[in-house]
Amino acid sequence: MNSYTSLPAFEFLVPEDTTFNSFRGCFSIKQSEFWFRIVFPDCPIKEQEEEEASCELSEDPACRSLEGAIFECDKELFRLTESHQRLIKQRFKQSQNLREFIRELREITEHAMTTAAQISFAFGELKSSSTKRSGKFPDINTQNRSPVSFRKLMAQLDAIGWSSIKSIDNNLSKLTVEMEDSNERKHQIRIIIPSTWPSDHARALMDIPVTKGEDPEDTKGGTLPSILRRCRSRFDTYHDFWRAVEDIDQHTCVLEPLNASRSCTTRRIVLQRHCSVQLEIDPHRPMGLCEIRFLGSEEFTGALMQKLNRNATKWRADQLPRKNLEDLLEIKFPEARATETEDFELECSICYSYRLEPAAGSSEAGETPDRICDDVKCGRPFHRSCLVEWLRAIPTTQQSFQTLFGKCPYCQNSITVDIGTGRLK
């Protein structure tokens, strides 16, 4: 009677007792050993047949039926095949004998090992390239995502290209991808991938201008490359808008905002000292007549407003907004190359600061002085909030709806400020 039965491809079984109902086995893949245990149900054997049956069971346990048997495996084998447990149970029930099942188990385990190796290699490559870019890369947590999800995710990240991935978190749930639109503008897209992906959709957040009712996210799902293709198509719809604001940034002296994002639709442009114009450009009609608001001395802005009203019908939809404004206002905007922005960054005459600290939790830049005393001899600049606080402290200040009427802190001439919407008068 043999003490164990050899199986093809380094598989073998060792009986745990003389009943030959319990066996321990091992198979090897790439120098790694995986142990398992199989317990067959007790088989009633007649006394006169005991010796013959015992011999039969001991000589070929691998050919015995698995009906009613119990299968156990070591921790390492279970860890590798955890996401395949349903398939393993199915194969255990369907296999005719233990030999057939072990072959199936070997294939499943080998596939799981190959996938794990691919993930490890890809993370190593990404870590290496990320270290060159930023010197840091998070330790990847593989516990929150199944190997099947990992395998699909890695294949799709390969399709995107690791050089396009600018950041990734340790759970592989958030990544930033850089891509170019059809006009070679670079964009960064933040992709949120739930742990239940691909069953649940990934979301893509884009830095694009949106109006009321629009969503800067792509939530339609699909593969990551298909999501990026939709993002590129959406970027292309804003080509004229970005062309308009880029022209303003390149050919004027912009006071606000600092480092404008691609979603920003406003620009505050220098006209002259103590005077500027704020534009609000419609992202869906960027070549149309935009919303215009003059900031500064009434003596200067009043004349510009008259020219705008007189020439508004001359606005050309085939011409960039900057060029239209220069034609309508009959001026030439100071260019950034010839103008130092600091020359126009006048301190508030109440708090003696140029830019206030932004509100807690706000991503916007702090308030700057945009209310100028209308008296040419005075021309003092103020923050709206500083002027509102000052006027409210003066007993003679009057209020009508959302507008305060008072005196300039310096020249004592009349000055007003809108406290409701922030629009200054």
Query: How high does pLDDT run on average in the chain?
Result: 79
Q: Which amino acid is at 382?
A: F
Residue 136 has pLDDT above 70, yes or no: no
Place of tokens 């804003």: 238
b/e map 25-49, b = 16+ CB within 10 Å: bebebeeeebebebebeeeeeeeee
Residue 342 has pLDDT above 60, yes or no: no
With CA atoms as reference, report the closest residue to 416 among 284, 298, 302, 318: 298
With CA atoms as reference, report the closest residue to 149 among 169, 170, 172: 172
Question: Within 13 Å, how many C-alpha atoms sit on residue 138's CB side?
Answer: 13
Across 111-120, 127-136, 138-147, 185-194, least confident range: 127-136
Whole-number pLDDT of residue 401 = 83
CA distance 39 to 17: 11
Residue 176 has pLDDT above 70, yes or no: yes
CA distance 148 to 317: 53
Residue 12 has pLDDT above 70, yes or no: no
**Of residues 7 and 272, which shows the higher confidence score?**
272
Confidence of residue 207 (pLDDT cuts 50, 70, 90): very high
Confidence of residue 168 (pLDDT cuts 50, 70, 90): confident
Note whether 218 and 206 are within 8 A (CB): yes
CA distance 268 to 253: 9
Angle value at C-alpha 60, between 58 and 66, nearest 5 degrees: 100
Q: Which amino acid is at 378?
A: C
Whole-number pLDDT of residue 96 = 85
**43-87 pLDDT, tens per residue?**
544 443 444 444 444 456 667 888 888 888 888 888 888 878 888
Whole-number pLDDT of residue 227 = 94
Peptide bond into 198 cis (omega under 30): yes
Note whether 169 and 179 are within 8 A (CB): no
- Joined together, the tokens standing for residue 118 give 């691919």
Tell me what the mean pLDDT of segment 272-296 comes to. 86
Which helix (DSSP H) or strand (DSSP E) does residue 191 occupy? strand 186-192
Tell me what the mean pLDDT of segment 289-308 comes to. 83
Residue 199 has pLDDT above 90, yes or no: no
Angle value at C-alpha 251, between 248 and 253, nearest 5 degrees: 80
**Of residues 213 and 194, which shows the higher confidence score?**
194
Note whether 326 and 316 are within 8 A (CB): no
Q: What is the percentage of the chain residues whose pLDDT exceeds 90?
A: 21
Confidence of residue 130 (pLDDT cuts 50, 70, 90): very low
Whole-number pLDDT of residue 349 = 83
Note whether 98 and 62 are within 8 A (CB): yes
CA distance 367 to 375: 23
With CA atoms as reference, report the closest residue to 388 among 404, 376, 399, 372: 404
Residue 88 has pLDDT above 70, yes or no: yes
Angle value at C-alpha 163, between 161 and 166, nearest 5 degrees: 110
CA distance 274 to 3: 99
With CA atoms as reference, report the closest residue to 249 among 333, 354, 342: 333
**220-274 pLDDT, tens per residue?**
888 999 999 999 999 999 999 999 999 999 999 888 787 888 999 989 888 877 6
CA distance 145 to 142: 6
**Of residues 378 and 205, which shows the higher confidence score?**
205
